[in-house]
Amino acid sequence: MSTRKPSTKGPGQAAKAETDETIGESFALSPDEASEVEESRPPRVQVLHETIRRQGEEELHRSATALAWSALAAGLSMGFSMLARALLRTHLPEASGGFLIENFGYTIGFLIVILARQQLFTENTITAVLPVMTVPSLGTFARLLRLWGIVLVGNLVGVALFAYGVLHMQVVDEPVRTSIADLGTGIMHNVPWQMFTKGIVAGWLIATMVWLLPGAGTSRALIVLLVTYLVGIGGFTHIIVGSTEVLYLVFLGQATFASYLFDFALPTLAGNIVGGSVIFALISHAQVRSDD
């Protein structure tokens, strides 16, 4: 006959021991149930980091021709953000909530580009930067600058072609063309410092979107819609979408190319890079390194 040895632990210690056992062992799960638990857990931050880093590695090693064509396609696609927003602005009835509905049009270009896996410059401010931060070298930094240069030029050529085509090919009616001009005029009301600071927020949000996508599963489109909608209603400046609207003004003769370049493009570009690469990518990389 066995006897149970009396516990020498006090009530508080016994309760703590019981709690520790519960935390450690939890409930008895079958192998299938344990597998379901693992599958339902969100990916660890290291997994997100490595997923995006590998995507960046692939982009850094793509041929210049492939990057250029993909970037051109993305620029043309991003023009639909301007066009959709202008169409909604034109045809929505006058109402206090019209602005909120109108900005759903802002998300269209992003949805096309992200889901079609086209090269968008502001995506690369985090995706292609993580490989450089992981293994810093002159070689990886040179490939980053090469990627940025090709994609940025390709995007800008695409949006310029889109804006020029909308203006001269008469694909939309005059009220819609007026709405497009109003969008560009609204952007140019910002002074260069505002272009820069609003660009930081836009770069941060786009980098956040890229960070969320690997773990989004079937909700990828929803993530893109919600994040880019926030960029739109916030009036945060984005180098590619904003270039479509401001270059339309340039082709219309209501703005100069110098004004586009110095008042909008350079400050916004700097802000997007700071928000996406210097702040978000650096912090995201630092938290992973801190867990090593």
- Say which CATH number the domain at 108 has: 1.20.1080.10
In a domain? residue 213: yes
In a domain? residue 121: yes
Q: What is the identity of the amino acid at 242?
A: G
Q: Containing domain of residue 117, as a range?
A: 45-291
Cβ proximity of 122 and 203 under 8 Å: yes
In a domain? residue 130: yes
Residue 73: HSE in the Cβ half-sphere, 13 Å Cα cutoff: 14
Q: What is the identity of the amino acid at 114?
A: I
Cβ proximity of 249 and 164 under 8 Å: no
The model carries a pTM of: 0.81
For 270, the token pair is 């700097």
- Rounded Cα distance, 25 and 14, in Å: 16
In a domain? residue 3: no
In a domain? residue 231: yes
In a domain? residue 29: no
pLDDT (tens place) for every residue of the chain, 292 residues total: 444 444 444 444 444 444 444 444 455 656 654 554 455 555 666 776 677 778 878 888 899 999 999 999 999 999 999 999 999 999 988 777 888 999 999 999 999 999 999 999 988 877 888 887 777 889 888 999 999 999 999 999 999 999 999 999 988 999 999 999 999 999 999 999 999 999 999 999 998 998 888 878 889 999 999 999 999 999 999 999 999 999 999 999 999 999 999 999 999 999 999 998 877 767 765 666 555 5
In a domain? residue 238: yes
In a domain? residue 20: no
Q: What is the identity of the amino acid at 277?
A: S
Cβ proximity of 184 and 86 under 8 Å: no
**Total tally of structural domains belonging to the chain:** 1
